[in-house]
């Protein structure tokens, strides 16, 4: 079948894509970082923009919240539009007191207690690695730019754990002591990228923490994550 959630001419989507969760963050990136950006998708208000960054064609698009939403857009981008690389740029909560509000986490792998992989491809895996080559490129680019990042595995959760207690999940995670941050989309992106034979990475800015009395406002989540955005753009064009 033809794609039904992202509908545009195939030439309107670049081979390299940034996926923030928030479509308004996609709009912000297009307006402030891309040249000649054009709006190429508005279905369900999940805005997609394509322009150039340092002369290279880049698409930036919202993915929505949660693995089902990420799964739809990642699949359509990889499968129907021949996208080769996607970097998720999102927000997260700190999983450990060693990670602080304002830190940028480079996810090397995502653990989830969810059965997304079973639902999607009849696999029992609950840990999915980011693409090694793309992750290495992001790491090296961060060093070149002097942007501090924290590297390690992250939790992809099905619930917004600011509202509910997830201690029962922590107690059953095989890599609980290694997890740095918690978010809701990376596992689905990594899994679909592997199944489609494509590359995927994730950069996540920490915006809240149970270990610190500080939080980034909803407005700042849209506009004050420029280090992460710049790092993603510089990495994906390489």
Tell me whether strands 85-94 and 35-41 are parallel, antiparallel or unpaired. Answer: unpaired
Residue 170 confidence (pLDDT): 81
- When the pLDDT of each residue in the chain is averaged and rounded to a whole number, the result is 95
Residue 216 confidence (pLDDT): 77
Tell me whether strands 104-111 and 127-129 are parallel, antiparallel or unpaired. Answer: antiparallel
CA-to-CA separations, 60 to 57, 69, 148, in angstroms, rounded: 10, 16, 23
Geometric angle at alpha carbon 189, from 78 and 15, rounded to 5°: 30
Residues 201-211: pLDDT tens digits?
999 999 999 89
What tokens appear for 134 in the block? 């793309």
Residue 94 confidence (pLDDT): 95
Fold (topology level) of 10-236: Rossmann fold (3.40.50)
Contact 161, 93 (CB under 8 A): yes
Cβ-based neighbours of 207, under 8 Å, separated by 6 or more:
91, 92, 93, 101, 215, 216, 220, 221
Residue 224 confidence (pLDDT): 66
Residue 33 confidence (pLDDT): 97
Residue 162 confidence (pLDDT): 84
Question: What residues are labeled active site?
Answer: 208
Geometric angle at alpha carbon 102, from 96 and 66, rounded to 5°: 70
Tell me whether strands 56-61 and 48-53 are parallel, antiparallel or unpaired. Answer: antiparallel
Regions of the chain where pLDDT drops below 70:
221-224
Domain ranges, ordered by start, for the chain: 10-236
């Amino acid at each position: 079948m033809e794609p039904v959630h992202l509908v545009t001419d195939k030439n309107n989507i670049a081979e390299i894509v940034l996926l923030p969760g928030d479509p308004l963050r996609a709009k912000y990136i297009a307006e402030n970082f891309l040249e000649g950006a054009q709006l190429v998708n508005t279905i369900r208000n999940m805005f997609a923009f394509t322009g150039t960054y340092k002369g290279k064609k880049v698409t930036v698009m919202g993915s929505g919240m949660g693995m089902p939403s990420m799964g739809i857009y990642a699949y359509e981008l990889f499968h129907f539009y021949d996208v080769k690389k996607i970097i998720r740029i999102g927000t997260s909560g700190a999983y450990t007191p060693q990670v602080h509000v304002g830190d940028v986490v480079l996810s090397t792998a995502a653990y989830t207690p969810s059965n997304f992989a079973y639902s999607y491809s009849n696999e029992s895996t609950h840990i999915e690695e980011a693409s090694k080559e793309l992750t290495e490129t992001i790491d090296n680019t961060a060093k070149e730019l002097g942007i501090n990042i924290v590297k390690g595995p992250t939790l992809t959760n099905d619930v917004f754990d600011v509202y509910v207690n997830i201690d029962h999940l922590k107690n059953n995670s095989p890599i609980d002591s290694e997890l740095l941050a918690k978010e809701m989309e990376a596992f689905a992106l990594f899994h679909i990228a592997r199944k489609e034979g494509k590359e995927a990475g994730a950069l996540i800015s920490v915006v809240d923490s149970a270990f610190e009395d500080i939080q980034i406002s909803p407005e700042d989540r849209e506009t004050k994550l420029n280090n992460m955005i710049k790092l993603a753009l510089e990495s994906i064009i390489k």
